[in-house]
Structure 1
Amino acid sequence: MAKAGLLHREPASPPPRVGRPTAIGAVFARAAAPALAKRGFSSASLIQNWAEIVGRELADLSAPLQVKISRGRNDGGTLVLKAAHGSAATLMQMKIPAVIERVNRYFGYPAIARVQMTQGVMAAHRRPRRLIQEEAPRDATREKAIETLVAEVGPPDLKAALARLGDAVSRRKP
């Protein structure tokens, strides 16, 4: 009889969730640490903050691939960057002194002395889907409704801004 009871055991329920969902950015550094260490990155912060370090213009044209540092030294390393295309590599070559200075300022010490460029296809930055139809025909009833809604707003510049906002929201794609 005792054996029959063991065979019909109810499956254990999962433990209750504690806490809140975690953002992927918070988990990324810990999950990617082994792969990043093979590339010479001591942390994911250089990759995650690349746009803030070098500026949006240069970040759109390049991405850090690897940091090469001599054994036993923390300074004088080489930063390997991937450029999106040939003209991006040329522009990056001209901006190398500024890139070195900004990266070293980010680290707080002269970690990088050289920059090596490689060219390759970069993952395209996805642009958000346009929510407003560019060439939507003017609708007199919609415009009249928006005018009625903003009629009692005092300052004319605020009234115009609210009317533009109302127009944009009303033309939004479903």
Structure 2
Amino acid sequence: MAEKPKEYKRLNRSVGVAEALKGALDPALKRRGFASRDIITYWSTMAPAPYDKVALPDKLVWPRGERSAEGATLHVRCAASHALGLAHEGAKIAASVNRYFGYLLVGQVRLSAEPFRPHSAKPAETGLKVTDAMRMEVSGAVESVEDEGLKEALRQLGHGIMAKSKSSGR
């Protein structure tokens, strides 16, 4: 007999992206040894320069048995050009992470075998073309928005929607 699919509880309210993705991300991060998303989310704040830009935490490996007072081993993906420096400054990175959390979390830092992809969060280029007429229409629609950051985000969204709808023939 086939097992019933899991039914999700409706929240009956609008939620942020972080809360909506929490159920999907947390189990995956727990398999990588992270109890929460903090070390990944705030890596650029806690890691010393230049490792805040050229390295990313990969997994956290906890020692077995009673040695947990020594801290975990943080495996870090790093750009090849900074790998030697990271290997030598592992104690400095561990101290920065521990200082951020306020307790001994990381005992040592090691390089991960996984390759480092520095801009994996950037969206891929779609190749959709935005015409001058589309730009003018979108600019007119967002003209009344006062916040410049919001205005630019809405402008980019409008360009994407219009280019996609034109390419699909709508």
Q: Please state how far the C-alpha of 1:19 moved relative to its aligned partner.
A: 3.3
Structure 1 position 48 matched with structure 2 position 35? no
One of 23, 26, 39 as aligned partner of 2:16: 23
Q: Please state how far the C-alpha of 1:97 moved relative to its aligned partner.
A: 2.0
Q: How does 1:5-16 map onto structure 2 within 5 Å?
A: none
Give the aligned partner of residue 83 of structure 1. Answer: 78
Q: Please state how far the C-alpha of 1:119 moved relative to its aligned partner.
A: 5.0
Q: How does 1:72-151 map onto structure 2 within 5 Å?
A: 73=68, 75-85=70-80, 87-118=81-112, 120-125=114-119, 126=122
Amino acid aligned to 1:83: C
Q: Give me the TM-score of the superposition, normalised by structure 2.
A: 0.55
Per-residue deviation, residues 45-90 of structure 1 (Å, max 9, x unmatched): 11111111114631221111111112352542111001121x2112
> Does the 8 Å CA contact 2:75/2:110 hold for their aligned counterparts?
yes
Distance 1:121 1:44 in 2: 21
Largest Rg, 1 or 2: 1
Q: Give me the TM-score of the superposition, normalised by structure 1.
A: 0.54
> Does the 8 Å CA contact 2:61/2:74 hold for their aligned counterparts?
yes
Aligned-residue identity in percent: 24
Partner of 1:97, secondary structure, is helix
> Does the 8 Å CA contact 1:83/1:119 hold for their aligned counterparts?
no
Unaligned runs of 5+ in 1: 1-16, 130-173
Partner of 2:92, secondary structure, is helix
> Does the 8 Å CA contact 1:29/1:44 hold for their aligned counterparts?
no
Per-residue deviation, residues 119-163 of structure 1 (Å, max 9, x unmatched): 543333249x9xxxxxxxxxxxxxxxxxxxxxxxxxxxxxxxxxx
One of 32, 37, 42 as aligned partner of 1:39: 32
Q: What RMSD over aligned residues (CA atoms) do the two structures have, in Å?
A: 3.3
Distance 2:38 2:23 in 1: 11
Unaligned runs of 5+ in 2: 1-10, 126-158, 160-170
> Does the 8 Å CA contact 2:90/2:110 hold for their aligned counterparts?
no
* Cα distance, 1:30–1:78 mapped onto 2, change above 3 Å: same
> Does the 8 Å CA contact 1:75/1:109 hold for their aligned counterparts?
no
Q: Which range moves more in the overlay, 41-50 or 89-98? A: 89-98
Amino acid aligned to 2:78: A
Per-residue deviation, residues 17-39 of structure 1 (Å, max 9, x unmatched): 9433x332333443211111111
